[in-house]
Structure formats: structure tokens, C-alpha cells
Homo-oligomer: A and B are copies of this chain.
Amino acid sequence: MLTTDLYASSVQHSLDLAGIFVFAISGALLAVRKNFDVFGIAVLAEATALGGGVFRDLVIGAVPPAAFTDLGYLLMPLVATACVFFLHPHVERINGAVNVFDAAGLGLFCVAGTTKAHDYGLGLTQSAVLGLVTAAGGGVVRDVLANEVPSLLRWDRDLYAVPAIVGSTMAALLIQFEALSGVTSAAAAVTAFVLRLLAMRYGWRAPRAWHRRSSTAEDL
């Protein structure tokens, strides 16, 4: 039995759509800030929401990717585009709320990505890596398309990779010990979600290389 069967599929599908929606919002908001037109907003919303999952599906051989088989996945970012297009001053104002939803998407996608990769026969470590890619890849695609340094990589942004790594690793360990269920996978997703919220609340950051300043100040 596939591990994804452990989820009530309709619940899982709704959670996927919710995750896609909030990631699309983050893409659309960046597009507005970059002064893109309505089609640029839609492209960035789609790429942000679906980029991580499409890459995962290409790697594991799940072709065509879910984004191109389930119409809802493709349409949800257009709903997000419409919301941002007409309401973006209000959406900006609730930016905190958007960040909370984005953290929820991060938690959902790192667990869902890990279990799907394992369903397709990848090892546990590789599955956890693809969980991270699923959760964080869309944001990287978003920033590359917007011609910015991916916020995932920057030292001056709150921790983003660590919560996803923790969630993915928990999911992989649950699979390893045959303890993956709706409840335990929800616990992994919630752990990643809460860690991300705490990182934003307390400004947790990751260290840069030792002695960095002395030797590279001239490069900046």
C-alpha cells in the first residue's frame, strides 16, 4: 500500500490546494513589487506554487507531473493572481497572515514531498531531500525569475530551510519505523510549521562561514 493512501485523499487534496494557494500568493506579491503586468503576476504565481512539485515529479519519474494532470493545481494560482491583482494593498496589509500561510505550505509540502518520493522508490535520505526541494523549490524559482538572489540562500533572512529539513526528516524517520499515519505525518508538518513561525518571530538566522569578513570584504 502506498504511504499516501494513509491520508484521506480528499483531505490531502484540499491541503495541497491550500499550500499551492499560499505559495502562489507569495509569488504574486513579489511580482507586484517588481512592477510586473498581470500576466507576469500569473506566471510568477504559477511558477512559485508549482515549481518545487514539478521538479520533484520529473526527478522521480512521475510524468506528467501532478501540476499537469490535476486541473485544480493549475487554476489555483490564477485565483491567487486575481486576489492579489484586485486586492493587493489589503493583501500586503495582511502580510503577516500570508507568512503564516506560507509557513503552513512549507510544512505540508515537505511532508507530502518526502512521502511521494518514497512511494516512487527513492531512498529515505533522497526522499527527505526531495521533500525539502518540494517545499523550498518554488520560492527559488520565483526569485530566479524575478532576477533576485533566492531568499532561501541569503543569510539575512529568517530560517527557511531548517524547518523544512526537520519536517522532511521526521517524515522519513516515520516511514523508516513504519509509523507514518495521518496523525504522525500531521505532527511532522505541524513541527515544521511551528519552527518556521518561531524562526520568524525570533529572527533566527543561520551562521555564515567562519572568518568571512576578513577575507572577502573586498568582494562586496
Which A residues have a C-beta under 8 Å from some C-beta of B? 31-41, 43-44, 54, 58-61, 63-65, 68-69, 71, 74, 84-86, 88-89, 92, 120-123, 125-126, 129-130, 140, 144-150, 152-155, 161-162, 205-212, 214-216, 219-220
Least distance between A116 CB and chain B CB atoms (Å): 12
11 contacts between A and B (CB under 8 A): A32-B209, A33-B219, A37-B153, A38-B209, A40-B154, A58-B63, A64-B122, A64-B126, A68-B130, A74-B129, A88-B210
Provide the residues of chain B in CB contact with A54, threshold 8 Å: 59
Provide the residues of chain B in CB contact with A86, threshold 8 Å: 209-210
A84 with B153: in contact, given A63-B61, A161-B43 (CB under 8 Å)?
no
Residue on B with the closest CB to A124? B71
In Å, the complex CA distance between A145 and B140 comes to: 8
Provide the residues of chain B in CB contact with A123, threshold 8 Å: 69, 71
- Evaluate contact between B153 and A40: CB separation under 8 angstroms: yes
8 Å CB contact of A43 from B34, B88, B126, B152: B152
In Å, the complex CA distance between A61 and B37 comes to: 32
Provide the residues of chain B in CB contact with A88, threshold 8 Å: 209-212, 215
- Evaluate contact between A208 and B35: CB separation under 8 angstroms: yes
- Evaluate contact between A37 and B154: CB separation under 8 angstroms: yes
In Å, the complex CA distance between A32 and B212 comes to: 7
Provide the residues of chain B in CB contact with A68, threshold 8 Å: 59-60, 122, 126, 129-130
In Å, the complex CA distance between A39 and B220 comes to: 20
Provide the residues of chain B in CB contact with A152, threshold 8 Å: 39-40, 43
